[in-house]
Amino acid sequence: MSPVKPSSGPEPYVSHASLFETAKRYLTKTKSQELLLRSIILIFVYLLAFCIRLFSVLRYESVIHEFDPYFNYRSTINLVQEGFYEFWNWFDAESWHPLGRVVGGTVYPGLMFTAAILYKVSQFLTACIKLRDICVFTAPFFAGNTALIAYLFGKELKDTETGLVAAALMAVVPGYISRSVAGSFDNEAVAIFALVTTFYLWVRAVNQGTIASAVLAAFAYLYMAASWGAYVFISNLIPLYVIIMFVSGRYSRRIYVAYTTFWAVGSLLAMQVRFIGFNHVTSNELLSFNGVFVGLQVWEALVFLRTKLGTKQFGQLVYLTAVAAGAVGAAGTAILVLSGKLNPWTGRFWTLLDPTYAKKFIPIVASVSEHQPTTWASYIFDLHVLVFAAPAGLYFCFKRPTDGTIFLTVFALTAIYFSGIMVRLMLVAAPAFVLLSAIAVSSILQSASKELRTPAAAETKTSPVATRRGRTSASNEENITTKKSTNLMILGLTFLALWSYSSHSVWVTSEAYSSPSIVLISGWGPHRVVLDDFREAYYWLRHNTAPDAKVMSWWDYGYQITAMGNRTVIVDNNTWNNTHIATVGRAMASNETEAYKIMRQLDVDYALVIFGGMSGYSSDDINKFLWMVRIGGGVFPVIKESDYLANGDYTVSSRGTQTMLNSLMYKLSYYDFGNIMTEHGKGTGYDRVRNYEIGKKDVQLDHLYEAFTSEHWIVRIYRVKDLENRF
């Protein structure tokens, strides 16, 4: 204590209570209890979201899964090693062999930057985590963040309880887990976080109506635009929301401020991504984004003018302006379309509006298994009880509509519609389902607990009346909705439902979504079989071929070959050049002599095929072969699908057509297979995927020779022979 007393003011208060007494005082206050409970719930939600995604890491090892993540991993290595400017201007000569690929301008860099920043931060804090591990664990880390943002979003939409339920549901919803397990280092890992954040900040901006909140939403939009091509979903959903608010009579100055700021700042920021560039203002996909901006300015200008002019003058002005604007708009659009400046919608997005478009016109989009439409079972598998709670959530949103819940309704309806068209978009619908269900569940719980808390007084008032007159009390019948037992039963049922939801989610994650598809694991315990053929083959390529060797394979495996095998490939998963892919498809579908000519043209040294007949691996090239024929036939009419089908049946047995049995793909897959006995009791050359014996058992290769076949025959690599000596 200072010896000099302060000249003015009372003595500062110093508490002499012990730590225990202070803690007890805080813990008995309801507000502190609530804060403690909320913090504990959120911490557990975060840990749950992180840990449930770790199955494949715990079972096998920390390895990157699938195909696309290998390219992202390679890009992140480039970014970390070479630096920002080298990555931004990177031209990759190791893929799409004669053409190369401008990676800097054709990639969404958000994911790579995120992983690189996490890596640098961990290096700075001297927690030296390997870059591969950072990449593997980026997705679970961001899944935890998404759960916390869902809490904030729920809080903004309704109240804190809804936020907590939303966070808990978002942590384990299987539709989101499927694309964000540890090891799935793909755009969606950070993009769903960016999506939910952008929507949360947008609803916050609309509720507050300030420029600062809208600028924050624009920065979240930048993160989304940098991460995933589905940023156009946000850029079309928000204008649609503005239009719906306008039409339903809820337009306000807050929406105007929020949207104008969001448009201006968001467009400028999104255009910084090289891949987007000026597309943001010229593309048809963003027409509504820009159009609604113009429309809002026109509306506000009209409102302003109306307050300044009289009614008659204003009427004349409106008429003149409408006619002039209509003429200018029509002429301008016509000029832009005719001069080709307005970029058309890309094929992928056309499919969302007309589901049969891809099947008819773009076989490469139709062939991707993720682009197939959804069946009813995917809903319950990916969402479990949320499919029941979501319509109820929609009802609650309609019952008491606020600006935020109308936005959620628009988001949910569009997301549910799109999820019905493409299985992959179930990922985008999952947050919508979670938020709707959170509103429904929280409303049920709140109404039930309210009934449980209040009628203690009401019961004592009515009970003497009831016991005296039996059933003829004030109302003719008992009101079972206010009885304690009913509400306890409702609470119990909700508890059971959420319990089954979480156990279903854990089971689904463990069984269906945690396979590191680079390694095939089957069986349990002592009967566990691990097929590591892919990595065996890619590392063979890496160590045993010339450094400038070119490898031709189907585009599915391009990223993996470049990342793990470190060799140049002809086509890879980016699929930006359909003709190049069709050339490879034509080579695979032609007979060996024709294919040899194409391979010499493309400078190919090795041909790689995936074959499942020995191991039973069903996603092999023979099963994908018809797509190769269709894509090749789409560009080169000499390849006709009917030549490969025997009576409309796709078969490689003895009933197969000669074109099929002489094609390069058949020869490369079944070379030397006719001598192998794969199943007890069947003949030689029994294909374990197709479940019959193959047609031609003695395969002769003239222009290639077998270089490598992996242990279970899954990957087969052939060396293309040089030209014969003429003399």
Partner 1 sequence: MPRLSSLEELRPSPRLICVLVLVSYFFVTAGIAYDIINEPPAVGGQTDPVTGAVKPMTFMPYRLNGQFILEGLSGGFFYTLGGVGIILLDLSRDKNQSVLFRNVYLALGLAITILSYLVCMVFIRIKMPGYMR
Per rule CB under 8 A, is residue 299 in the interface with partner 1? no
Whole-number Å distance between alpha carbons of 186 and 181 = 10
Of 159-167, 375-383, 562-570, 622-630: span binding partner 1 (CB under 8 A): 375-383
Say how many Å lie between the first and final Cα of the chain, rounded. Answer: 107
**Contact assessment for residue 147 and residue 46, using Cβ atoms and an 8 Å cutoff:** yes
Using CB under 8 A as the binding rule, whether residue 499 contacts partner 1 is answered as no
Told to check if 449 binds partner 1 by CB under 8 A, we report no
Instruction: Return the number of the residue (478 or 679) whose C-beta is nearest partner 1.
Output: 478
Q: Is 497 in the site for partner 1 (CB under 8 A)?
A: yes
In angstroms, the Cα distances linking 123 to 73, 79, 137, 581, 718 are 18, 15, 16, 41, 43
Q: Which residues pair with 607 in a beta bridge?
A: 552, 718
Which span sits near partner 1 by CB under 8 A: 94-102, 341-349, 490-498, 717-725?
A: 490-498
Binding of partner 1 at residue 271 (CB under 8 A)?
no
Task: Tell me how far, at minimum, the Cβ of 525 lies from partner 1, in Å.
Answer: 15
- CA dihedral for 676, 682, 685, 691, sign (positive or negative): negative
The least distance separating partner 1 from the CB of residue 645, rounded to whole angstroms, comes to 18
143 forms part of the interface with partner 1 (CB under 8 A):
no
If the CB atoms of residues 127 and 480 are measured against partner 1, the closer one turns out to be 480
Interaction mask 384-423, partner 1, x per CB under 8 A:
-x-xxxxxx-xxx-xx-x-------x---x--xx-xxx-x
Q: Of residues 7, 369, 460, 675, which one binds partner 1 by CB under 8 A? A: 369
- Nearer to partner 1 by Cβ, of 128 and 377: the residue is 377
Do residues 606 and 550 make contact, with C-beta atoms less than 8 angstroms apart? yes
Instruction: Based on the shown chain and the rule CB under 8 A, indicate whether residue 379 belongs to the binding site for partner 1.
Output: yes
Least distance in Å: CB of 11 to partner 1? Answer: 55
Which of 11, 477 has the CB closer to partner 1? 477
Minimum CB separation of residue 468 from partner 1 in Å reads 19
Q: Report CA-CA distances (Å) from 346 to 76, 150, 455, 463.
A: 27, 31, 60, 70
CB nearer to partner 1: give 89 or 479: 479
Angstrom CA distances, 303 to 207, 210, 251, 311, 590, stand at 22, 20, 13, 12, 68
Query: What's at 445, amino acid-wise?
Result: L
Residues comprising the chain, all counted: 727
Nearest approach in angstroms of CB 23 to partner 1 is 39
Rule CB under 8 A: say whether 493 interacts with partner 1. yes
Q: Which two tokens stand for residue 312?
A: 């008659």
Nearer to partner 1, 98 or 401 (CB): 401
Judged by CB under 8 A, does residue 691 bind partner 1? no
Choose between 62 and 372: whose C-beta lies nearer to partner 1: 372
Least CB distance to partner 1 at residue 380 (A): 6
Residue 248 lies near partner 1 (rule: CB under 8 A):
yes
Name the CA dihedral angle for 12, 16, 22, 25, rounded to a multiple of 10 degrees. Answer: -80
Rounded (10°) angle between helices 160-172 and 30-51? 20
The residue within the footprint of partner 1, chosen from 504, 535, 688, 719 (CB under 8 A), is 504
C-alpha separations of 452 from 183, 540, 660 in Å: 46, 68, 72
Residue of 634, 653, 621 lying closest to 717 (CA atoms): 621
CB burial string 262-293: b at 16+ within 10 A, e below? bbebbbebbbebbebeebbeebebbbbbbebb
Examine residue 457 and tell whether it contacts partner 1 (CB under 8 A): no
**Angle at which helices 386-399 and 403-421 cross, to 10°:** 140
Of 26, 304, 507, 705, the residue at the interface with partner 1 (CB under 8 A) is: 507
Per CB under 8 A, does 33 bind partner 1?
no
Of 150, 187, 155, 144, the residue nearest 51 (C-alpha) = 144
Instruction: Supply the DSSP string of 171-226, one letter for each residue.
Output: HH-HHHHTT-STT--SHHHHHHHHHHHHHHHHHHHHHH--HHHHHHHHHHHHHHHH
| Using rule CB under 8 A, residue 165 touches partner 1 | no
Nearest CB to partner 1, comparing residues 39 and 447: 447
Smallest gap from Cβ 70 to partner 1, in A, equals: 24
Using CB under 8 A as the binding rule, whether residue 432 contacts partner 1 is answered as no
Stretch that binds partner 1, among 32-40, 279-287, 365-373, 558-566 (CB under 8 A): 365-373
Query: Using the rule CB under 8 A, is 255 a contact of partner 1?
Result: no
Q: Is 211 in the site for partner 1 (CB under 8 A)?
A: no
Q: Which is nearer to partner 1, 126 or 476 (CB)?
A: 476
> Which residue ranges make up the site for partner 1 (CB under 8 A)?
247-249, 355-356, 359, 369, 372-381, 385, 387-392, 394-396, 398-399, 401, 409, 413, 416-417, 419-421, 423, 440, 443-444, 447, 475-481, 486, 489-490, 493, 497, 504, 507, 511
